[in-house]
Structure 1
Amino acid sequence: MEYRKLGSIDLELSTIAYGAFAIGGTMWGGNEKKDSIESIKASIDNGVTSIDTAPFYGFGLSEEMIGEAIKDYDRTKIQLLTKFGLVWDGSNQGKGEFFFNSEKAGKSLPIYKYASKENVIKEVEESLMRLQTDYIDLLQIHWPDSTTPISETMEAFEILLKQGKIRAAGVSNYNISQVIEASKNVNISSNQIGYSMLNRGIENDLIPYALENNLGIIVYSPMERGLLAGNYFKKGKLKDDDHRNEYFQQFDMSKVKTFLDAITPLALDKGATLSQLVLRWTSLQPAITIVLAGARNANQAIANAKAIDIDLNTEEIRFINTELLKI
């Protein structure tokens, strides 16, 4: 495994990090608890020391399973990354910015973006309990909240840093102006943002900014929620409650399939799967510090970790990039 420093702070993360959205079950059609916990342990056993989660993932379930899974490991050698700012339990008392309607136990549940100082501190205490730890390595705001001044949210970060309850502050889904505003108050270590072979918009602005200002970039959905793994084109059927049925409609699926067919021989030549090739390509892009990869079981987790072992030379990366231009 490779390990990289995040921004300008003394916090080193595994280049491939465990993304814990899917194991929470929310919007992903569910997952077996035993398989989820084994996937976390398998990741750690194979060098993936960084685990990214959020209270919203399974409405606390993801954090709880992580807390259970890491009990037998040296906590100082594991980096826990979590978030705040998506509220579903009504504790915001009507405040914040409505985001979307989710579902819990068969009932519609409104989700709000809410990042007031009081709520941030409250959510961190709840996360610490679920994760069974006394500190969080990297705390991130999940989504910008237009109803709360960024300076107020950053004030909460300052308090938590002084208390030692978090080691570093990060943002997620922020644009450059929001990152600049947040950085006036707190040393922002990273921005977690969506990026993949099919979603490269940040290369136009955020990537150059990150390179110039030593901002860590943590990317989610590098596999485009499994599409780039290629299995969808073999099976083509997801559970009815899987959000990807709608999500995949944004892509020209015939062009995506043609692209995957084109790079499959390269993956085979490397003794790798498509997923591993895609993860490694992503990790080698400019300014990309950490790549999040989800896993529903131990085998998937081990495969994700081993993606870092793939050696891609300049010519091979150029070949992939040329094929991408055809999508």
Structure 2
Amino acid sequence: MEYRKLGNTELELSAITYGAFAIGGNMWGGNEKKDSIDSIHASIDNGVTTIDTAPFYGFGLSEEMIGEALQSQNRSKVQLLTKFGLVWDGSNKGKGDFFFDADDNEKKLPVYKFASKENIIKEVEESLKRLKTDYIDLLQIHWPDSTTPIQETMEAMDLLIKQGKIRAAGVCNYDVSQLKEAQKTISLASNQVSYSMLNRKIEADLIPLTVAENIGIIAYSPMERGLLTGKYFTDTKLKENDHRNGYFGQFDLQQVKTLIEELSSLAHAKEVNLAQLVLRWTTLQKGITIVLAGARNAEQAISNAKAMDFDLTALELDFINQAISKIK
């Protein structure tokens, strides 16, 4: 495993980071608790020291399972990244930006983006309790909230740093203008954004800014929620309540299938699987600090960690980039 310094902080994070969205179950067709906890332990055993989660993942379940899994681990050797700002329990009293209706056991729960100072402090206390810890290594706003001034949100995180409850502050899904506004109040550690072979939009303007400002980039959905593993072009079927039934529709699936076929030849030659090849390519892109990879069982977790056990030559990277360039 390779460990990388996050932005201007002292945090050293594993290049492959455990992404804990799927183990929450909601939007992913459910979960198996034992498999989820086993996947966390397997990740740590294979050098993955960083775990990224959020209260919204499973409406607290993801954080709770992580807290349980880490009771047998050395907390100082693990970096916990979590978020705030998605409210589903009505505690925001209708304030914030309406985001979408989430499914919870066939019930619709309205989710709001809400990042007021009061709400941040409340959410952090709840996360600390679920995670069974007294500090969070990196706290991130989950999505921008247009109803709360960015300055107020950043001041709240600065206060939490001074109180010792968080070690660093980050954002998620911020564009260039939002990032610049936030930087007026606090020195940000990172911006967590969607990035993959099929989605490279941040290379145009966001990456140049974060490189210049020494802000880390945490890449999520590098495998486009499993699409780039290739298994959904075979016999793998999604459950009816899995959000990917709609998510995959944004892509030209025939072009993606062609890309996968081309990349599979290189993966075979290097004796790695397609997911590992995709993850390794992502870790080598300019400005990318760490890459999130979800795992629902120990086998997937070990496979993700081993993506750092090989390298890609300049010729191999050129081959991959040429294949990607054919996607329109």
Q: 1:76 is matched with which residue?
A: 76
- Asked if 2 retains the 8 angstrom alpha-carbon contact of 1:141 and 1:172, the reply is yes
Q: 1:306 is matched with which residue?
A: 306
Question: Is 1:210 aligned to 2:242, yes or no?
Answer: no
What CA distance in whole angstroms lies between the structure 1 residues aligned with 2:313 and 2:81? 31
Task: Give how far 1:184 is off.
Answer: 1.1
Equivalent positions of 1:277-288 (< 5 A) are: 277-288=277-288
Question: Is 1:61 aligned to 2:38, yes or no?
Answer: no
Q: 2:238 is matched with which residue?
A: 238
Q: 1:128 is matched with which residue?
A: 128
Task: Give how far 1:236 is off.
Answer: 4.9
Q: 1:227 is matched with which residue?
A: 227
SS state at 2:71 partner: coil
**Partner amino acid, structure 1, of 2:125:** E
Encode CA deviations 1:51-79: one digit per residue, 9 max, x unaligned.
Answer: 00000000000000000001111100100
SS state at 1:306 partner: helix
Q: 1:6 is matched with which residue?
A: 6
Q: 1:104 is matched with which residue?
A: 104
What CA distance in whole angstroms lies between the structure 2 residues aligned with 1:181 and 1:142? 17
**Partner amino acid, structure 1, of 2:135:** Y
Encode CA deviations 1:96-125: one digit per residue, 9 max, x unaligned.
Answer: 110000011221100000000000000000
Task: Give how far 1:273 is off.
Answer: 0.3
What CA distance in whole angstroms lies between the structure 1 residues aligned with 2:233 and 2:105? 31
- Equivalenced residues, count: 327
SS state at 1:288 partner: coil
Q: 2:161 is matched with which residue?
A: 161
Farther-moved stretch of structure 1 (296-305 vs 255-264): 255-264
Question: Is 1:44 aligned to 2:9, yes or no?
Answer: no
SS state at 2:285 partner: coil
Task: Give how far 1:158 is off.
Answer: 1.2
Unaligned 5+ segments in structure 2 are none
Q: Structure 1 residue runs of 4+, over 6 Å off?
A: none
Task: Give how far 1:237 is off.
Answer: 2.2
What CA distance in whole angstroms lies between the structure 1 residues aligned with 2:59 and 2:263? 38
- Asked if 2 retains the 8 angstrom alpha-carbon contact of 1:277 and 1:310, the reply is no
What CA distance in whole angstroms lies between the structure 2 residues aligned with 1:150 and 1:217? 19
Q: 2:196 is matched with which residue?
A: 196
**Partner amino acid, structure 2, of 1:78:** V
Task: Give how far 1:12 is off.
Answer: 0.6
What CA distance in whole angstroms lies between the structure 1 residues aligned with 2:88 and 2:160? 23
Task: Give how far 1:167 is off.
Answer: 0.2
Encode CA deviations 1:92-151: one digit per residue, 9 max, x unaligned.
Answer: 011111000001122110000000000000000000000000000000000000000001
When the two chains are superposed, the root-mean-square deviation of aligned CA atoms in Å is 0.6
Farther-moved stretch of structure 1 (222-231 vs 307-316): 307-316
Superposition TM-score, scaled by structure 2 size: 0.99
Equivalent positions of 1:107-186 (< 5 A) are: 107-186=107-186
What CA distance in whole angstroms lies between the structure 1 residues aligned with 2:255 and 2:181? 39
Question: Is 1:187 aligned to 2:187, yes or no?
Answer: yes
Q: 2:92 is matched with which residue?
A: 92
Q: 1:319 is matched with which residue?
A: 319
**Partner amino acid, structure 1, of 2:71:** K
SS state at 1:109 partner: strand
SS state at 2:218 partner: strand
Identity in percent: 70
Question: Is 1:266 aligned to 2:266, yes or no?
Answer: yes
SS state at 1:239 partner: coil
SS state at 2:13 partner: strand
Q: 1:23 is matched with which residue?
A: 23
